[in-house]
Every structure is written in structure tokens, then in C-alpha cells.
A and B are shown apart, each in its own frame.
Chain A
């Protein structure tokens, strides 16, 4: 089920919420958790019920491994259990996500003709697999334990985070379900939850889905792109993925807040980042945390020789890249970010200060350009956008530089008002066809760079009627724009 669907907003969420608190009110707290697990599994199955056995097997197996690790004292046996659990999750992920990619490459490299398995990617598998990997690691390190199956099921399947995160630690969420005051319906939590839900929905439906049309056209439909079109395409995607994914996260956090559960934040104005390290501290923060805690640090982190530390960074980013999907584009994207991180470390060691504006400009442009590899379906599509970004397929109107030049010159001369107007009109005609897109992109850029993000807005939230009217109207507008039969999927459902 999608957060931006009518069935979620008007049926699933209200019913789940009301029954949960009704059961708590009747002091059936165990039953209320069972209800949340069942509701979450229903939420998961709505998309494709054939995936239900897979998540159930995954939950049962990981619960069993976690349980055994909690009881066993022999270090060797615990290690064996941990490795088997780890392998189970990695192999499951690899089987569904990477098998066809590997077959395709083997066929291409060795001229073989192995047929593809054409397995559909089960929804949320990347997220529930790494959530459970983190859990097993925490149990192994004795920083988590869960003996109750329903609690464990709830930890993995709680619907706000199930499909696309945030990626959770057991200790972040489950103690909240135990707290007595969290079992009581809390108007503040409800108001704040609704506020976040509305921000997320507006981001997704009004902004991201709008930008998607331009990005999709540029990446998937156009045969070549002019300079202006290529920048519109790449910037549209950069803002689309931000508003889409952060919109999803806002809705996830908002939905959880209705149940008095605070999930970790996942975005903190990433396009305000002043370097690539800063970007990863602001973008998909829970994935960055996972990669740092469970890959980078176990590899040795930065407590090794500089070259080894750099390699650790690169490996971590490459794993982060291919975690998103099986494709060379993800590998290149991850590698580029890894390399940029290494360059940043080098720059840091030189101890040279860079003006904040330049730093943001460079970081944003790097991120924007590398999204091309992340988004393009084929290498040819990526190259097409790149050619366009550097104007290799024309500027769109070849006379543009002349027009700009003559406009500037003319402006300094003593022209008649009418002539000035004509010169301006001439220049504007170049941009005319793309004015709406440029305006929206400029607005997105302004919002990302200067406006408060949703977490900051939530911190400042007060129950004022003006805010209710403003966000109520925004939500109504967003809800009306949802396509009844086929709401647009969130981008991160593909990963």
C-alpha cells in the first residue's frame, strides 16, 4: 500500500490507529501489538500478496537466530549463528536483487546464453533485510535482545518504516512501545503526526510527481538534450528524488507519531551540505549510519593507514551504491561519491578554507551530476544527459549567445523604450518555452537552500488555526491530485 493512496489515507491509517488505541484503552496492550503486526502485514501484502511468505520466512528465521544467540554462551556457536543469519539475509537479497544482473554480465562477458530468472523485486526487501542484519549484529554485540515473537515481528514490520525506512535499530523503537504513556492516545502526537503527514504528502504529490514528468521525459523519452533541457532534466531529478524520498520519510515519521512512536530522522536539508561528508550526514541519514556502523567501522574505519582508510571509504560507498540496485549506474554513482569523499579528506588535510557559498555550489553540482548515473536506465541515457549538460548537443537556440550579447550591449546604449523592450523580448523568447520549468526548479532550489526543513518545522510546530488551514488546504490539494487508480510510486520502492 502506498502512503499517497486513498486507501491508506482514508481507510488503513484511521482504522489501524483507532483499533490500536481502542485495544490499549481496554488494557489489551499485547493484543494491540498483535493488531499492529497484522495490520502491517496487510499493508505489506496489499501490493502483492505473493511476497507475504517471503517476509514471514525472513522474520521467523531472523527471530530464531536472534533468540538462539541470546541464549547461547559459547562464542564459537554464537559466531556461527551470527554468520548464518548474516548469510541468509545477504543471500536472500542477492538472489532477488542481483541474480539477473550477474547472469546478464556473465552472458555478455563469456558469450553464454543463461536465461534470466526475471524475479520481481519484493517490495521493501532491501530495507527489511538490512534492518534485520543490523539487529543480528546488535544481538551479537549484546546491545539488543528480543525474546517475544510479536515484539520482534512488530519491530521489523511496523508499517511506517517497513517499505523504505528509516532503517532502525531495535533499541530505537521497541522500548517506546513498552512505555505506558505511549499507549494512550496523545493529541499532541496526533497533531504533530498529521502535520508531518501533510508536509510529506505535499512534497510527494505536488512537488515530486510534478518534477517526475520532466525528469522522465529527459531521461527516458528524448533522443538528445540541449544544454537547457539537460540541466532541466538533471535538476528536476535531483529535486524529485529529494522531495519524493524525504516526503516519504516525513509521512513515515508522521504516521509513527500518531502511534506515539518517534522514528529517527532521515533527512536534514542535504542540499545545504558544504562538502560530500556533510551531504551524507544529511541525506538518507539512517543508511549512512548503517554503512558507517556495520561496514566502514568493521573494515577498520579511519583508524588505519590513510590509504587503507581511503579504500575503506571507497568500498563502503560502492556497497552503498549497489545496495540501491543491480546496475552499473549504481556502482559508478557509489564509486564517484567514494572518490569525492577521498578528495574531501585530502582537501581537509590541506586545511584551506572555502567560502560557504562556493562549497555548497560545488557540492550540490557534484551531487546533481552524479544523480545522472543513479537515474539513467542505460549507459546511453546517462551519456545523453551528460552530452546535454556540457552543451555538446547544442544549446537549444544556437543564436542564444549572440542574443545575450546584443541585449547587454543594447542596454548600455541610449535606446528608445520600445527598442529596449524588443531586445528584452528577444532574450526572453529563448527561455519562454521552459519558463514554467525554470520557475519551479528555482523555487525548489530556494526551498532546499533557504527554507526550514520538515524537522525544523516540526520543532517549531504550534497548534495554531492558521497552520491547520494552510496545511489542511495543501493536503486537500495534494489528495485531489492523487490518481485514483494508480497513485505514483515512491522512488525508493524500486531499491
Chain B
């Protein structure tokens, strides 16, 4: 072999070796940014994503849905199939954990600009209107412009990405529990479901208390002085208004509901001093669009069995929500679950719910005393 050839081979071998980990990351694609290969039990499920906001962007682009489900993690628990059976077409659950209204608006705007969206089903959460609920780390406006260099860099290189690739392969091979089915966009709650099956109510009570504690201590949820001022929701409300206008201008059917919360969480809102803002919020939403309100005390929000914790309803409950939203007479929905609210009956409805508040100490609520 000539010296020239030997040096050529050496350089090629060396360069090839350096490229190996990146090629591995590209193929395993732990964050779902490239989607070159998707092999069941190898890399199909993504257990190590950096940000749900980033990964969902790439999956929703691949899914190309014409029906979008929007909201926070309360909406995330619901199966898009349960919506698609009413709307037809391809439904995708684009709910984003902890999102505020600006984030939801930006995702919807992107989708309507790029895909022929027909339906938007939106589950509203009170804390999405909290001014202290800031944009999340994984939310990047620049991503919507197309080629977002940083995602590709993070998806290909670095020791953390290599670790994520290895864990993805391991978890897929072991059929581990995956929190989100990114192909459909919804959360399967697989690991909690497993824990519930194994330990039953003990785990449920623990999760409910933990959920109440988080809502009562997190500034981005209910623990905010600013949020006690009813006017503080104006910023997020303006983005909700934009969502309504966007759908109207593009002829998209927008179905809105306020996500139910377990009765203790309903009381927590008032116990945290947010009652005035909460009622103001509902009346302001009603001025923009009619919606279903599933909050308050009813046969679903008082039945522990239907909940993952105090704010996340299981998908069986979600089916009831969609049955009401799409006027499905065949499904048996409890009569006290869900009230259709418009600008005409908003005040009456708010007064009706107000009477359902149980005045309790914060400590009692957090310990679920009497629930």
C-alpha cells in the first residue's frame, strides 16, 4: 500500500470513528428531532426528551393533524382518538404541560399557518392565565421559523445526548413505561397506573396531597399575590382572545371547556384567596366564547376513582367531556357534570358554583380532611 493511500485510510478511519456517536444519536434520536428511524422496542418511544415543547413540535409536524387538542397537562391525559371519533380526520393532542396562553397561542398559530386545521378542542386551566406562569425553557419562538439549529445540535452531540440515546434503547428494549405517546401526543400515565394497580388508594391519596401542595406553593400556579388581582389575567386573556379570533378568521371550529378539578382543588382556589380572580376569569372567557364548565362539585369531581391526582382526570372522564362537547346522546354523561356557559348565563352559573365552596382551612384541604 502506498504511503498516500495509508494516510488516506488513516484519516478516513479516524473521521469515521469521530462520526460514530453522532450517527448513533441521529438514528436513535432520543429527543425525536430527526425521526430517521422508528423501530418498536428499539427507539420508537422517547423516554428521555429534553422538553415536551420541543419534541411535540417535531411530532406534530410529522402527524400533520387537522384536529388539534390544546391545553395543559390536564388536557394531556385525554386520548385524541376520543375526539377523532366525533370530528373525523387526524387528531393530535398538542397539550403542553404547564403552558400559559401565549405558548398555546403560538403553537396554534403555527399549526393553522402550516396545516389545514378544521377543529380545535381546548381545555382551559385557571393557572394558564396567571401572569407569573412564564414561558418554559423548551419553548422557543424561533423554532416556528423552521430550521432551528439549536435543537439539531442538542439532538446530535454532547455526552448527555449520548446517555439519552443509550437509555432510550434500554427502556425500549425493556418495554418500560413511557410518560407520553408522542405519536398521538397524549400522556398514558403508565407508571402511575402501574403504581395504582399495585398499591391502590394509598398512592392516589399521596399523589392528591402532593398535587395540592404543588398548586398551593408554586408561584406559577396558585401561590401568587399578583394573581389575586383580577386584572392580572389580562395579558393571557388577550392571547386567548387571539386564539378565538384566529379560529373564527380561518373558519376553524373551536370547542372550549374548563377542565374539571377534584373538589378539594376547587376549594383550594378560594382558600388561596384567588376566588375573585377565578370568577372574573370565567366571566371574561364567557364574553369571548361559550364553553362547558366542568368545575365545581358534581358526581365526577367528587369521585376519587376517576382521578390521577386532584387536577388530572383519567381518560374515562375525558370521554364524558368530549361526549358533551360533541353532543353525543349515546354516551351516558351524569346530569350534574358540565354546564354550558355563555355570556347570558355566566353570572348565574358563577353564583351557582360560588355556593358550592366549602370554607375550609388550607391545612385541612391540603390533608384532604373531609374529602
Residues A244-282 near B (CB distance < 8 A): none
Asked if B157 is at the interface (CB within 8 A of a chain A CB), the reply is: yes
Residue of A nearest to B4 (CB): A187
Proximity bits, B5-39, A CB within 8 Å = 1, else 0: 11111110111111011000000000000000000
Judging by beta carbons under 8 Å apart, are B7 and A188 in contact?
A: yes
Q: Indicate which residue in A471, A481, A484 contacts B14 across the interface (CB closer than 8 Å).
A: A471
B154 interface contact, C-beta 8 A: yes
B158 within 8 A of partner (CB): yes
User: B25 to chain A: closest CB distance in Å?
Assistant: 10
Our pick among B11, B154, B159, B162 for the contact of A190 (Cβ within 8 Å) is B11
* Residues from chain A with Cβ under 8 Å of B162 in the complex: 480
CB neighbours (8 Å) of B154 from chain A are: 484
Task: State the Cβ distance, B30 to closest chain A Cβ, in Å.
Answer: 14
Complex contact B3–A188 (CB within 8 A): yes
Q: DSSP class of A's interface residues: helix, strand, loop or mixed?
A: helix
Q: How far is the CA of A467 from the CA of B3 in the complex (A)?
A: 16
B10 CB contacts on chain A under 8 angstroms: 191, 463-465, 467-468
With both beta carbons as reference points, the residue of chain A lying nearest to B5 in the complex is identified as: A187
Which A residues lie within 8 Å of B6 (CB)?
463
Contact B18 A187 (CB under 8 A): no
Residue in B4, B7, B13 whose CB lies within 8 Å of A465? B13
Contact residues in B for A473 (Cβ distance below 8 Å): 17
Interface mask (A473-485 → B, CB under 8 Å = 1, otherwise 0): 1011001111110
Using Cβ atoms and an 8 Å threshold, which residues of chain B touch A476?
17-18, 20-21
Q: Is B21 a contact partner of A188 (Cβ separation < 8 A)?
A: no
- Chain B residue with minimal CB distance to A465? B13
Instruction: For the complex, give the distance between the alpha carbons of A31 and B15 in Å.
Output: 28
- Residue in B8, B9, B18, B158 whose beta carbon sits within 8 Å of that of A472 in the complex: B18
With the chains together, A46 CA to B215 CA distance in Å?
Answer: 44
Cα A335 to Cα B260 with chains together (Å):
76
CB distance from B31 to the nearest CB of A (A): 13
List A contacts of B17 (CB < 8 A): 468-469, 472-473, 475-476
A463 touches B18 (CB 8 A): no
Instruction: Say whether, besides A187-B7, A463-B6, A476-B21, A198 and B158 are in contact (CB < 8 Å).
Output: no
- The answer to whether B20 touches A463, judged by C-beta atoms less than 8 angstroms apart, is no
A228 to chain B, nearest CB (A): 30
Q: Mark A146-175, 1 if CB is under 8 A from B, else 0.
A: 000000000000000000000000000000
- Report Cα–Cα, A198/B6, bound state, in Å: 19
Q: A191-B11, A465-B13 are in contact. Are A475 and B159 (CB under 8 A)?
A: no
Q: Which residues of chain A from 286 to 314 have a CB within 8 Å of any chain B CB? A: none
Listed residue (B7, B9, B14) with the most chain A CB atoms within 10 angstroms of its CB: B14
CA separation between A463 and B7, bound complex, in Å?
6
- Residues of A within 8 Å of B14, CB to CB, are 191, 194-195, 198, 468, 471-472, 475
Q: Point out the residue from A187, A482, A483 that lies within 8 Å of B11, measured CB to CB.
A: A187
Cβ-based interface call for B289 (8 A): no
A6 CB–B CB distance under 8 Å = yes
Q: CA separation between A482 and B11, bound complex, in Å? A: 22
Q: Is the CB of B13 within 8 A of A472?
A: yes
- Nearest CB in chain A: distance from B79 CB, A: 36
Instruction: Name the residue on A nearest B21 (C-beta).
Output: A476
Q: Does B157 contact A479, Cβ atoms closer than 8 Å?
A: yes
Q: Give the CA-CA distance A479 to B158 in the complex, in Å.
A: 7
B153 within 8 A of A: yes
Residues from chain A with Cβ under 8 Å of B157 in the complex: 6, 10, 479-480, 482, 484
Contact of A194 among B15, B20, B158, B159 (CB under 8 A): B15
Q: Closest CB of chain B to A276's CB: distance in Å? A: 39
Question: How many residue pairs, one in A and one in B, have C-beta atoms under 8 Å apart?
Answer: 69
* Chain A residue contacts of B9, Cβ below 8 A: 463, 465
Q: Looking across the interface, which residue of chain A has its beta carbon closest to that of B13?
A: A468
Of A190, A198, A463, most B-chain CB atoms within 10 Å: A463
Nearest-Cβ distance from residue B58 to partner chain A, whole angstroms: 18
Find residues 182-206 in chain A having any chain B CB closer than 8 Å to their own CB: 187-188, 190-191, 194-195, 198
| Cβ contacts under 8 Å, A188 to chain B | 3-4, 7
Cβ A194 vs Cβ B21 within 8 A: no
Which residues of B in the span 140-155 have a Cβ within 8 Å of any Cβ on A?
153-154
Query: In the complex, are the beta carbons of B11 and A194 less than 8 A apart?
Result: yes
- Say whether A480 contacts B158, CB under 8 Å: yes
* C-alpha gap A473/B14 in the complex (Å): 9
Give bound CA distance, A484 to B31, whole Å: 16
Residues on A with beta carbons closer than 8 Å to the beta carbon of B5: 187
The residues of B that contact A190 with a CB separation of less than 8 Å are: 7, 11
Interface residues of A in 441-495 (CB under 8 A from B): 463-465, 467-469, 471-473, 475-476, 479-484
Cα–Cα, bound, A469→B5 (Å): 18
| A137 → chain B closest CB, angstroms | 39
Quick check: A484 and B4 within 8 Å, CB to CB?
A: no
Contacts of B13 in A (CB 8 A): 465, 468-469, 472
CB B20 to nearest CB in A, in angstroms, measures 7
Contact A480 B11 (CB under 8 A): no
Measured between C-beta atoms, what is the minimum distance from A254 to chain B in Å? Answer: 12
Interface residues of B in 151-199 (CB under 8 A from A): 153-154, 157-159, 162
> Which residue of chain B is the closest to A478 with respect to CB atoms?
B18
B331 to A: closest C-beta gap in Å: 49
| CB neighbours of B11 from chain A (8 A) | 187, 190-191, 194
Please, which residues of chain B bring their CB within 8 A of the CB of A481? 159
Contacts of B15 in A (CB 8 A): 194
* Residues of B contacting A191 in the complex (Cβ-Cβ under 8 angstroms): 7-8, 10-11, 14
A194 partner residues in chain B, CB cutoff 8 A: 11, 14-15
- Can you give 29 A-B contacts (C-beta < 8 A)? A6-B153, A10-B157, A187-B7, A190-B7, A190-B11, A191-B7, A191-B10, A194-B15, A195-B14, A463-B3, A463-B6, A464-B10, A465-B10, A467-B10, A468-B14, A469-B13, A471-B14, A473-B17, A475-B14, A476-B17, A480-B21, A480-B157, A480-B158, A480-B159, A480-B162, A481-B159, A483-B158, A484-B154, A484-B158
Residues of chain B having any CB pair with chain A under 8 Å: 3-11, 13-18, 20-21, 153-154, 157-159, 162
Q: Which 6 A-B pairs have the closest CB atoms?
A: A472-B17, A463-B10, A187-B7, A480-B159, A191-B7, A187-B8
Given contacts A10-B157, A463-B10, A483-B158, 18 further A-B contacts (CB under 8 A): A187-B8, A191-B8, A191-B10, A194-B14, A463-B7, A465-B10, A468-B10, A468-B13, A468-B14, A472-B14, A472-B17, A476-B18, A476-B21, A479-B18, A479-B21, A480-B157, A480-B159, A481-B159
